[in-house]
A and B are shown apart, each in its own frame.
Chain A
Amino acid sequence: MRGPDVAWYLAVAAFLFATGALGVLLRRSPLIVLLSLEIMLNGANLALIAFSRLHGESSGQIFALAVMAVAASEVVVGLGLIVAIAQKRLDLDVDKLSFLRG
């Protein structure tokens, strides 16, 4: 296989996943949190595609395509909720969403 070794792809994928996970855990704006979730999913996608090339079969790529569709629908629901919260003029800050005691 030409190009970098699969370990590099896996390293980038793990880096993306970790970046996304940190974003979900640390950032306050729900918009950034949604963005971070997407980064996590895309890290996994990169790993799937790299392994798919490594093993020389396409099921990993099909999986990645399906994940993209799922990620899109997840974001639609997330953005819809954020709009609904904004319409109710609640603070867009996940730390202040504490009507329910956490």
Chain B
Amino acid sequence: MIPRPHVDWFALAPELMLLGAMGFALIGAVLLPRENRRDFGAFAAALGFAGAFVYAIVIYIHTPDVHSVIADSVRRDRFGALAQVIIAGAGLLTVGVSYAQRMRDEHIAEYYALLAAAGAGMCFLVTANNLMTLFLGLEWFSISLYILCAIDRELEGSLEAGLKYLIIGSFGSAVLLFGSALVYGATGELAFNRISAAIGAQHLTGDALLVAGLAMIIVGLGFKASAAPFHMWTPDVYEGAPTPVTGFMAAATKTAALVLTLRVLRTAFPQEAHLWTVAIAAIACASLAVGNLAALVQRSVKRMLAYSSIAQAGFMLIPIAANNAIGGRALLYYLIPYSVMSVGAFAVVAARERELAAPVTLDNLAGMGWERPLLGVAMCTFMFGFAGLPPTGGFVGKFYAFSAAYRHGWTWLVIVGVVATAVSLYYYLAVVRAMYMRPAAELQLTPTPIAAGGSPPRDALLQTSVLLALGGTIASFVAVEPLIHVAKQAAAALPF
């Protein structure tokens, strides 16, 4: 009889919920008549994400200390559970945003199945405790996302986005895999905690294989988190993919990649901290510079938000580089407002896109604040949040991220971050200005041909999602103390 490791099925509940939802949606895609597939798929995915959300909260409550789930390959702890809550929440909002997206209904149930599968992969990734589960989780959600980007086959840009993402994403994964192989070669271990133990026992701190492997792992994760200089796919893919998918990628992919980066660096390579803190800080500065400067000159709102997401990745790498308990807390806290704001901002873009049937630019955003008061106010709040202005959680998040860097003794990093924030105000407030404050003379209104049927009716589900995202953005500012407490307990699962 082959000895089998003990499997803690409860710890895998969020992934299993989402996989179940995926199965249901796929069965619906085959068995149901075409007109029911959209409702059924959306319902299945929403149920899956809601279930994962609830299960992740239950896991958070019932896991005060760290457990190994399957022979050290997966960890059950509050750190992973909180990340799963964020991912499942972003997924749930995305289902609401996607529902009224005009897509060919031929593959609509598969769309929701893939969304659930991507969510499951991310939930799996954030609990990974082994180089193999890391790679598998990464590819699990990446392959789902490649297809999601290209799912709207009528759009030329969509196919192109899918192929570009596939090529560059797989390149990043291959680099990460080679790095994992080198680390395995240097230490003889795959599990994160045993890698760190082997480094300590065999005095491998400066080992060439190990350092090369670590560098390649950081590069691979940089591709997934779209941090500069590994960001070149981001603007094209974010622009070409269907807008709800873009929102999901911006929120959930970044959450999964950043949370895992902190976990792997902290659990597997604590002895190498003098190397990777500098590397992560350099990547953070590059992301802040590239993201902010390129965002300044964009006219397309989706591209602008893509560059802004690169800059935000830079902000969230600052607490990782700080390598202290405040940093872990700051990252987890910042991800909460960041992901709801991302899904919300892209939802508003999607709504405008559906009204105009054209790509949204700063020019055709004009007057939206007056036409659609709810979406206008929400978009303003999201922009204030990204810029780090007070009535939103973005303010507290940035404050905490900077204080983590300050505590680490890196005042220069704080200064870089503050300068980047000041620069980012320009393009975030440009959106607010475009929506509310364009003088009539500047608009040069030309009568545009209006497609037959006029503008589409208000989309209740999208508006609900935007409202929830707005609520999340403000609530993360108002309820900052309980949320920081939650993030603190989650970060305590890592060996700081």
Contact = CB atoms under 8 A, between A and B. Distances in A.
B406 interface: no
A70 B167 contact: no
A50 B147 CA distance: 34
A66 B162 contact: no
B149 to A, nearest CB: 9
Contacts of A33: 167
A11 interface: no
Interface string A1-36: 000001000100100010011001000001001100
B232 to A, nearest CB: 8
A73 B132 contact: no
B157 interface: yes
Contacts of A50: 185
Contacts of A34: 167
Interface in A54-91: 54-55, 57, 59-60, 62-63, 66-67, 70, 73-74, 77-78, 80-82, 84-85, 88, 90
Interface residues of A, number: 48
Contacts of A85: 159-160, 163
Place the interface of chain B in its size category: 35 or more
A94 B166 contact: no
Contact of A88 (B156, B162, B167, B182): B156
A63 B188 contact: no
Contact of A24 (B146, B150, B167, B232): B167
A63 B164 CA distance: 27
Contacts of B159: 81, 84-85, 88, 90
Contact of B132 (A57, A63, A77, A94): A63
A41 B166 contact: no
A100 to B, nearest CB: 4
B167 A55 contact: no
A82 B175 CA distance: 23
B150 A84 contact: yes
Contacts of A13: 178, 181
A95 B150 CA distance: 18
Closest 7 CB pairs of A and B: A51-B185, A40-B174, A47-B181, A55-B188, A44-B177, A44-B178, A100-B236
Interface of B: 131-132, 135-136, 139, 143, 146-147, 150, 153, 156-157, 159-164, 166-167, 170-171, 174-175, 177-178, 180-182, 184-185, 188, 190, 232, 235-236, 239-240
22 contacts: A17-B178, A20-B174, A24-B171, A40-B178, A44-B177, A48-B180, A51-B181, A52-B184, A59-B184, A59-B190, A60-B181, A63-B135, A63-B180, A66-B135, A67-B135, A70-B135, A74-B143, A77-B143, A85-B160, A100-B157, A100-B236, A101-B236
Interface of A: 6, 10, 13, 17, 20-21, 24, 30, 33-34, 37, 40-41, 43-45, 47-48, 50-52, 54-55, 57, 59-60, 62-63, 66-67, 70, 73-74, 77-78, 80-82, 84-85, 88, 90, 94, 97, 99-102
